[in-house]
Chains A and B, each alone.
Chain A
Amino acid sequence: MPTVPMSRREKARRSLVFGAFMVVLALLYTAYKAFGQAIDDTQRDWWLVGSFLPRSDDKNMPRVLDILAEFGEAPRAGGTTIGRLTLDGALFTLREAAVGFAAGTVIGLAIAVVLLQSRRAERGVLPYVIASQTVPLIAIAPIVVVWGRTNFGFLPWEWEDWMSVSLIATYLTFFPVAVNGLRGLQSPSPEATELMQSYAAGRRQVLRRLQLPASLPFLFPALRIAATASVVGAIVGEISAGVRGGLGRLILDFAGKYITGPERLYVAIIGACITGLVAVGIVALAERLVLTRRGQLAR
């Protein structure tokens, strides 16, 4: 197992590949559009393009350059640009997601540690943890916001609507952490456990020195899933609960103006994707730092 950290050259190569991939994506998009325009897909005598695949006109598929230009446009003359609005929205949403992610990770790990204590607890509780994820988020988001506004007055700080959205993100985040965390905590071999016993290690010592470190390689993939889930959860939560300030609200606003300016919605979508990538990127960076230092990175 090589444990060498990524070289600068490898990093440069990866960024280059990513950039090339985006360019290819834009080219394919443009090529499809050009092809649709050339055959005049509104006639619908082609069974693919324009019939069940999207039409290629500027209303359905705005030109790539127009989308890019839209970042710099301002809805009101001299006002804030679309790009700036999207950035502000993304930061707002990222904060919600990060708080939800942190809380979800703590709660998920706590559940995993509790379930670790007995097979009976695991068998009894785990099905409910799984069932918890079948609750439709869109339905409960408004309930959580109202609940937060009316019932959380006892807290030492003022409860704001974005915290309710974080709560929704928490709900999506704790699940993969609990399930994978439990598997990771159970991963040490019987020999390793007997070894700890032979040193007369207590339950806490076994947890801290053996089970928690052993769980990290299982935990990080779960954290990556949780990172995207927390961003998606935050956006959906904002939309469903009507919370202002984030990407969710922005998407809702721009979708309403889709007929007159479709580029705007595309900008918001790109913003949402980048936000998700940033969230995953932060987790991946943490993983790399932690596991490389521990010689555990198998790559």
Chain B
Amino acid sequence: MAQDLVLEIAGLEKTFNPGRPNAVTAIAGLDLAVQPREFVSIIGPSGCGKSTLLRLVGGLIGPTAGDLSVNGRSAQEARLARDYGMVFQAAGLLDWRSAVRNVELPLELMGWSKSRRRARANEMLELVDLGGFAAHYPSELSGGMQQRVSIARALSFEPALLLMDEPFGALDEMTREYMQAELLKIWRETATTVIFVTHSIPEAVFLSSRVAVMSPRPARIAEEITIDLPERSPPVRDTEEFFRAVSLVRRTLRSVEGT
């Protein structure tokens, strides 16, 4: 049933500078549907418009043509209704606010009372295992910790949809794998739907219930691969199923890039 979809995209098109000599069609004829509680990764060649897609979904930019609805609303309405939590590659914490005050920011903008938002922010920091760092400023936190604060902030107001744009792209491999496991834990504990943009195949396979492979520009979803792993814990990375899924995604990506 269409009403049950968190995200429904049909025939989406985005052209930058339309009608001008430097017009660029980034996305054309893109379809995608996401069910509640799904974890969907979007993967594709660099520069193919993954971030553009995410910003369209988030209502930060408007589409040129096509339909895009979030919980049955337009992206703009959904943004104004605060249906989204966003996490970017740069943690984007405000460096004059302590960790807990950063997590409070969206709640402050929504007019929550001080005691209520403080309680929630502390709860969220516990969730990302940063309970002891509430009073620390971003400059006193490592890159991985900053990104966890950023995730806590995005989840603080319980958005229906978590949009993540290469959130672990700037982290080293070890921190990255740790953060992936953390994210899965959080995803299970909160009833959030996640759309996760990445250019790392193992990351997409490990995290997602479904991987959407984008074509080069003008981008559309070329293939959707359902990932069926027995369990989502770090040891699964060394299993036959994991390797098979990774190489399937890799082959798909290669064939898409070839066309």
Q: Is B a genuine binding partner of A?
A: yes
CA distance A197 to B163 in the complex (A): 14
> A294 with B140: in contact, given A198-B79, A209-B105, A209-B109 (CB under 8 Å)?
no
| Chain B residues in 8 Å Cβ range of A209 | 94, 105, 108-109
Q: Are B98 and A195 in contact (CB under 8 A)?
A: no
CB 8 Å contact bits of A74-95 with B (1 = contact, 0 = none): 0000000000000000000000
Complex partner residue of A197 from B79, B88, B95, CB under 8 angstroms: B79
The reply to whether the CB of A281 lies closer than 8 angstroms to some CB of chain B is: no
CA distance A294 to B96 in the complex (A): 5
Q: Are B139 and A1 in contact (CB under 8 A)?
A: yes
Q: Are A198 and B86 in contact (CB under 8 A)?
A: yes
Q: Are A296 and B95 in contact (CB under 8 A)?
A: yes
> A195 with B140: in contact, given A200-B79, A201-B109, A209-B105 (CB under 8 Å)?
no
Instruction: Report the minimal beta-carbon distance from B85 to chain A, rounded to whole angstroms.
Output: 8
Instruction: Report the minimal beta-carbon distance from B105 to chain A, rounded to whole angstroms.
Output: 7
Interface footprint category on A: 20 to 34
Which single residue of chain B is at the shortest CB-CB distance from A294?
B96
Q: Are A199 and B98 in contact (CB under 8 A)?
A: no
Which single residue of chain A is at the shortest CB-CB distance from B137?
A295
Instruction: Report the minimal beta-carbon distance from B127 to chain A, rounded to whole angstroms.
Output: 19
The reply to whether the CB of B106 lies closer than 8 angstroms to some CB of chain A is: yes
CB 8 Å contact bits of A256-299 with B (1 = contact, 0 = none): 00000000000000000000000000000000000000111000
| Chain B residues in 8 Å Cβ range of A196 | 109
CA distance A118 to B206 in the complex (A): 45
Instruction: Report the minimal beta-carbon distance from B236 to chain A, rounded to whole angstroms.
Output: 32
The reply to whether the CB of A134 lies closer than 8 angstroms to some CB of chain B is: no
Q: Are A197 and B92 in contact (CB under 8 A)?
A: no
Instruction: Report the minimal beta-carbon distance from B220 to chain A, rounded to whole angstroms.
Output: 24
The reply to whether the CB of A132 lies closer than 8 angstroms to some CB of chain B is: no
Chain B contacts with A in 98-140, Cβ cutoff 8 A: 98, 105-106, 108-110, 137-140
Q: Are B79 and A192 in contact (CB under 8 A)?
A: no
CB 8 Å contact bits of B81-97 with A (1 = contact, 0 = none): 11011101010101111
CA distance A210 to B82 in the complex (A): 18
The size of the chain B interface, using a CB distance under 8 A, is 28
| Chain A residues in 8 Å Cβ range of B137 | 3, 294-295
The reply to whether the CB of A245 lies closer than 8 angstroms to some CB of chain B is: no
> A189 with B90: in contact, given A199-B82, A205-B109 (CB under 8 Å)?
yes
| Chain B residues in 8 Å Cβ range of A195 | 86, 88, 92
Instruction: Report the minimal beta-carbon distance from A292 to chain B, rounded to whole angstroms.
Output: 11
The reply to whether the CB of B60 lies closer than 8 angstroms to some CB of chain A is: yes
CA distance A210 to B102 in the complex (A): 11
Q: Are B96 and A200 in contact (CB under 8 A)?
A: no
Instruction: Report the minimal beta-carbon distance from B71 to chain A, rounded to whole angstroms.
Output: 15
The reply to whether the CB of A194 lies closer than 8 angstroms to some CB of chain B is: yes
Which single residue of chain A is at the shortest CB-CB distance from B55?
A194
Chain A contacts with B in 183-206, Cβ cutoff 8 A: 189, 191-192, 194-201, 205
Instruction: Report the minimal beta-carbon distance from A170 to chain B, rounded to whole angstroms.
Output: 28
Could you show 13 A-B contacts with beta carbons less than 8 Å apart?
Answer: A191-B92, A197-B60, A197-B79, A198-B85, A199-B82, A199-B105, A209-B109, A213-B94, A213-B96, A294-B96, A294-B97, A295-B96, A295-B140
Residues of B at the A interface (CB closer than 8 Å) are 55, 58-60, 79-82, 84-86, 88, 90, 92, 94-98, 105-106, 108-110, 137-140
With A198-B79, A214-B96 known, 13 other A-B pairs at CB within 8 A are A3-B140, A195-B86, A196-B109, A198-B84, A199-B82, A200-B79, A200-B82, A209-B94, A209-B108, A294-B97, A295-B95, A295-B98, A296-B95
